Structure 1
Amino acid sequence: MIDAPTGVALAIEPLVTRVLAPNPSPFTYTGTQTYLVGTSDLAVIDPGPAEPAHLAALMAAIGGRPVAAIVCTHTHRDHSPAAAPLKAATGAPIIGCAPLSLDDAGPRADAAFDTSYAPDRVLADGESIAGAGWTLTAVATPGHTSNHLCFALAETGALFSGDHVMGWSTTVVAPPDGDMAAYMASLARLMEREDRVYYPAHGEPIERPQRFVRGLIGHRKQREGQILRLLGEESRPVPAMVERMYVGLDPRLTGAAGRSVLAHLIDLRARGLVSEEDGVWKRAA
């Protein structure tokens, strides 16, 4: 298990250093993990929140070395806001996911979208950026958000998995932008890869990633089965399903659980398995 001191540059392998942001919460675990990739020149992955202490810690970790790119996996406010001030301080371009601004008033279990995010270059699936001794390739993984990218480090077999796969918790898939069908397809795509380790934006490294992803797929299918069984008993609104499915849940997470159930229901409706009327869901005839 990696120690998690906030603001300390911790080398986790020769090409990768981690700096933990001071934004712990029930939804971010110990905080957002910003990764510095490279030795002589750097890529900064998920710069995190625009907190002065975190920016100072990043600049100390950079230590005057050139920054080739500031890379963002997606645009929730715990991931991308520090990109702009870091660009101003280093002159580095912001590269990575597409901008996304969504007015979403529903209960969230993660940060809202960063409306200030302005990339200099958007990477398509399979496109790469490179520096001295490192290459990062974008892997499109929509689901948590429609603009989510993971980044594969060719030289070591590591994958920076953002919020798509996390070691401490299942990923929030919150409609309208979060899409369960896309999320499941993205997990299946990762199963086809041979990455050695995942470095998520929150939580510990994932050392046996294919087995871990297989477990995530199984968990989501189990939740889907729960929903279908409950609706087989009687028609129900989402809150009633959450009450039955998440016994003992922290009340702060009830809204998030509801969004996850809704994401499953939207997927099941698209597959013709359930229907909805006035907020009440039922099994399809």
Structure 2
Amino acid sequence: MMAVAIPFVRDIKFDYGRVEQVSPLIRRVIANNPGPFTFTGTGVYIIGHGDVCVIDPGPDLPDHFEALKQALEGETVSHVLVTHSHLDHSPLAHPLARWAGCSVLASGEITPPTQSEVRLEAGYDTRFRPDSALNDGTLIEGDGWTIEAIATPGHTSGHMCYALLEENCLFSGDHIMGWSTTVISPPDGDMDAYLTSLEKIAIREFTTIWPTHGPPITDPAPFVAAYRDHRLDREDQILACLASGHTKVKDMVPVMYAAVDQRLWPAASHSVMAHMSRLVKIGRIACDGELNMEASFQLV
């Protein structure tokens, strides 16, 4: 079974630790933490000039911290914003804020770790707490720039994207990534909430999306539509598996991911489980007993 093709964008030229002006109001510094969940590394965004804010400071690595200090030398950091509390996004937030003398803002919804024997993410920053909690629609303003907080639960329950109104662009964290689909792993990850959040972003008609990992998405409308269609196509595949007699997640994954490296099947099973939870919620399928990896499912 083949899923909907997403027009991924993966070409990116950069040097680790070097600040780069990527738009009139946006600079980026990429941390040297490449990996299977971070692609080339965490892209830290600096918004404005002189009076600035920083989005997703990234991992607490000495060289990376020094690179950010050099990039911000002579400027006033008014806020540090965090999309969600994973180890590749939030650990440097408070050290940077203490150095700059400002506060850390993020969703007040704390992300609880997903218990799993399969590592699906860069890991949870369990110590992270914002100084102030943001609500959906909160505006953060500086000299020449305005950031709007947009609640986008799904990847995590407390995921927050940020819109730069002056450039009609979105800093999407891990909600939308140009290089890959994002991980949705229950119970904190919620596929139904994720699809709703995708629709919420689609109707805003942003001209550019800046993910924390990888290059910008410069044609967002068809990209976000394909992102959504890919997820819905997976659900059609699940329904087809159930119709053909595959009743458990472990039986569906080899069918749905036959062309994918088998080492990735354990992680794929969590994505399928997120879909199963959503399909049960909306009444498309039923579950015998507790909703977990060992459960049997049937069509309704």
TM-score category of the 2 structures, normalised to the smaller one = over 0.9
- Equivalent position SS for 2:166: coil
Q: Which AA in structure 1 matches 2:247?
A: R
Report the aligned-residue RMSD: 1.5
For these two proteins, the number of residue pairs brought into alignment is 285
CA contact (8 A) 1:138 1:149 kept: yes
CA contact (8 A) 1:42 1:69 kept: yes
Residue ranges of structure 1 left out of the alignment (5+ in a row): none
- Corresponding residue of 2:127: 116
Query: Aligned to 1:66, which of 72, 76, 98?
Result: 76
Task: State the TM-score, normalizing by the size of structure 2.
Answer: 0.91
- Corresponding residue of 1:266: 277
Counterparts of 1:125 and 1:264, CA distance in 2: 25
- Corresponding residue of 1:191: 202
Per-residue CA shift, 1:3-36, capped at 9, x if unaligned? 1321111110111011111111111111111100
CA contact (8 A) 2:243 2:299 kept: no
Q: Which AA in structure 1 matches 2:62?
A: P
- Corresponding residue of 1:208: 219
Residue ranges of structure 2 left out of the alignment (5+ in a row): 1-10
Counterparts of 1:165 and 1:136, CA distance in 2: 18
CA contact (8 A) 2:175 2:182 kept: yes
- Which protein, 1 or 2, shows the higher relative CO under an 8 Å CA cutoff with sep ≥ 6? 2
Query: Aligned to 2:287, which of 260, 276, 284?
Result: 276
Cα drift, residue 101 of structure 1: 4.4
Cα drift, residue 100 of structure 1: 1.5
**Matches for 1:119-138 after TM superposition, within 5 Å:** 119-138=130-149
**Matches for 1:1-285 after TM superposition, within 5 Å:** 1-98=11-108, 100-106=110-116, 107-277=118-288, 279-285=294-300
Counterparts of 1:151 and 1:215, CA distance in 2: 21
Seq. identity, %: 44
Counterparts of 1:52 and 1:252, CA distance in 2: 33
Counterparts of 1:101 and 1:191, CA distance in 2: 24
Counterparts of 1:103 and 1:139, CA distance in 2: 22
Range moving further from structure 2, 180-189 or 116-125 = 116-125
Task: State the TM-score, normalizing by the size of structure 1.
Answer: 0.96
